[in-house]
Structure 1
């Protein structure tokens, strides 16, 4: 039961810490307890800004920000569409930007396996807690089978502590959407293509693009998928 005692110590440390430096130490402790190479908490803010704690190298985190990789990172993009944890292998790595991102990440030691837990908080907050490792599929499946519930528990404890320590860092309240913007996002959310949405609303695809970009700006979203996720979480559209 040594592992369970270590898990309890992580949760107790999260309850007790009163500093951001303490959160960074806890992320490092998570890696030791679960025997994985990396752990990362990432809060994706409006306009693509980020707030994070983690064990990736500074070279990689700086490059991630400089390249605005959150716009193409399948982990971020994929988790906007999900409410449940996901193994990285189940995400879409086929688009060329995703493949290029993966190659860059691997060169920076991110790891060939990963598990991401989407977190949605107050006022449309969106964050991720991810764990990554270098191992074969069989070994990774054993890690996930053993620890997945604990990963989820730690992720939400961690986010709760971040919100407690950073009360001023809240997601921006979205501006009201126009009826056309609501219609466009709703139809996209239920699976219509852009061409089908334009046809249904009797508008051109160019006009539709204007509505979508306007809604994205109002919602502080980095892409259309994020805009839909924010609109749903804020109750601005119902699907």
Structure 2
């Protein structure tokens, strides 16, 4: 959606004010999913890799991208070669995707396929760094035209940074208020692979049922294990059953 000349400064007032009133991470996620097109934003992704620091977090992903694109992205293992993640982790400043998307090879292929799934190749990634060295990457894409997006981002980059700070602060605050023990939020696919595992299906059998690759199934299982802070797939299934995230009833 076009921004229709709506000033991005509204991001740091109307939107930021809403963040202070949210009482759960679900409210934050739902708000992002409700659409920010009037502010020149088509999609938002909040990504914290699993921490390698002792005592660090298990990682977090909140995104408004379609489930189809998420499935394809992980099936192609783009998380291991995404230049947005690579450059974001190395930088302290916002990065305009325009310096990334024209690379050759896997990068060009990834951005091309993203467009086929309705994901814009115009965006900005804003790195957030914690006191233990942990990094959170907040990406925002736009459906504005190429030259229009460049001018818009140039004029209002500080407002996008303010938005990212408010989003990050809200998520950290809500996580702290729950003692870091918020009930894990598994995606539909993560629940499905654990559900079939609970029924005794192997990764290969689950792949046949869901019409995905076995590698993709293993990726979803790994993410579910991490989110549930489990040690094995079987442990994750047990925890998911105890939390009511999946059912023991085959019917």
Same fold (TM over 0.5): yes
1:136 to 130, 133, 145: 145
1:25 to 10, 24, 30: 30
Structure 2 match to 1:12: 17
**1:55 and 2:64 correspond:** yes
**1:43 and 2:52 correspond:** no
Note the C-alpha offset of 1:3. Answer: 6.2
Consecutive unaligned residues in structure 2, runs of 5 or more: 1-5, 53-57, 182-251
- Paired residue secondary structure (2:128): strand
Equivalent-residue separation in structure 2 for 1:33 and 1:134 (angstroms): 11
1:74 to 65, 83, 89: 83
Specify whether residues 19 and 147 from structure 1 end up closer, same or farther in structure 2 by C-alpha distance, changes over 3 A only.
Answer: same
Structure 1 match to 2:236: none
The count of aligned residue pairs is 168
Specify whether residues 101 and 50 from structure 1 end up closer, same or farther in structure 2 by C-alpha distance, changes over 3 A only.
Answer: farther
Note the C-alpha offset of 1:132. Answer: 1.0
Q: Is the Cα–Cα contact under 8 Å of residues 10 and 26 in structure 1 kept in the other structure?
A: no
Equivalent-residue separation in structure 2 for 1:6 and 1:141 (angstroms): 18
- Paired residue secondary structure (1:76): helix
- Paired residue secondary structure (2:36): helix
Consecutive unaligned residues in structure 1, runs of 5 or more: 170-239
Equivalent-residue separation in structure 1 for 2:128 and 2:19 (angstroms): 17
Equivalent-residue separation in structure 2 for 1:5 and 1:152 (angstroms): 13
Q: Is the Cα–Cα contact under 8 Å of residues 93 and 126 in structure 2 kept in the other structure?
A: yes
Note the C-alpha offset of 1:133. Answer: 2.0
Equivalent-residue separation in structure 2 for 1:3 and 1:44 (angstroms): 29
Deviations 1:40-95 (A, max 9, x none): 22222248x75222321111123323333221111110111210001101127524
Q: Is the Cα–Cα contact under 8 Å of residues 13 and 26 in structure 1 kept in the other structure?
A: no
Q: Is the Cα–Cα contact under 8 Å of residues 7 and 33 in structure 1 kept in the other structure?
A: no
Equivalent-residue separation in structure 1 for 2:84 and 2:66 (angstroms): 18
Q: Is the Cα–Cα contact under 8 Å of residues 101 and 108 in structure 2 kept in the other structure?
A: no
2:172 to 151, 163, 170: 163
Specify whether residues 121 and 83 from structure 1 end up closer, same or farther in structure 2 by C-alpha distance, changes over 3 A only.
Answer: same
TM-score of the two chains, using structure 1 as the length reference: 0.62
Question: How big is the alpha-carbon RMSD for the aligned residues of Structure 1 and Structure 2?
Answer: 2.6
TM-score of the two chains, using structure 2 as the length reference: 0.59
Which deviates the most, 21-30 or 131-140? 21-30
